[in-house]
Amino acid sequence: MKKIVVIGLIMLAACKNGDVKLSGGDSASSVALAKGSNSEDFSSSLSGLMSNYYELKKGFVLEDTLLIAKSAMLLSKDADKLPIQQMKADPTIIENAKVSSQSIVSQIQGLLGESTLENKRKEFQTLSEQLYDLIRIVQYDKEVVYHFTCSKAFDNNGANWLNNSPKIENPYLPKVTPACGDIIDSLDFRKK
């Protein structure tokens, strides 16, 4: 499973850099992959997934292990049943979304298997980046998603998370330095 994820991420990175050549000599960066509007069912499912992610983040902010477990299980179910086949997009985008959602399910299982809050937070960091990638792949268009970082997390190695508001809600150091957080990106695919 991890090999598939790594291969998918390498392909995605290569496409971003224009290193992949398509038939006819065009690079992947010069040929845009077709992406239409997502179905209402797909968007609704992804909105539910995001709500459970925000609840999971809240569990880390509150250091509430019961809320963390409950939200993680709901998030896993949402990611597993995400109706990706209903996406209106190029087959490559659909395949990347499938791989990404499967990676999220696997990451949540790892999070649930950890015994300490610190190790659960490390799994949450990876999960947050996987979800950030999925949002960009499918162009989630129901809300603005803010990508935060806290440089002091994990002994100053830094860690990222997502939020649906620009308010800092640090899931890594909620008691030590709750104000640690900077927005490094905001994803807004809403129709203008």
pLDDT along the chain (192 residues), means of 10: 45 41 37 66 95 98 98 97 90 94 97 97 98 95 96 97 97 95 96 80
pLDDT of residue 161: 98
Q: Is residue 29 part of a domain?
A: no
113: number of Cβ within 10 Å: 10
Q: Which structural domain, as residue segments, surrounds residue 60?
A: 2-18+39-187
- Backbone φ, ψ for residue 99 (5° rounding): -60, -45
Taking the C-alpha atoms of residue 189 and residue 43, their distance in angstroms, rounded to an integer, is 12
pLDDT of residue 4: 47
Q: Where do the DSSP E strands lie in 70-133?
A: none
Q: Is residue 61 part of a domain?
A: yes
pLDDT of residue 28: 40
Q: Is residue 25 part of a domain?
A: no
Q: Is residue 148 part of a domain?
A: yes
Q: How many domains does the chain have?
A: 1
pLDDT of residue 14: 42
pLDDT of residue 36: 64
Taking the C-alpha atoms of residue 53 and residue 67, their distance in angstroms, rounded to an integer, is 11
Q: Which two tokens stand for residue 175?
A: 């008691």
Q: Is residue 70 part of a domain?
A: yes
Comparing CA positions, the residue from 168, 167, 163, 169 lying closest to residue 186 is 163
Q: Is residue 33 part of a domain?
A: no
pLDDT of residue 35: 62
> Quick check: helix, strand or coil at residue 162?
strand
Taking the C-alpha atoms of residue 45 and residue 2, their distance in angstroms, rounded to an integer, is 25
Q: Write the DSSP symbol of residue 21.
A: B
Q: Is residue 23 part of a domain?
A: no
Q: Is residue 65 part of a domain?
A: yes
Polymer length of the chain: 192
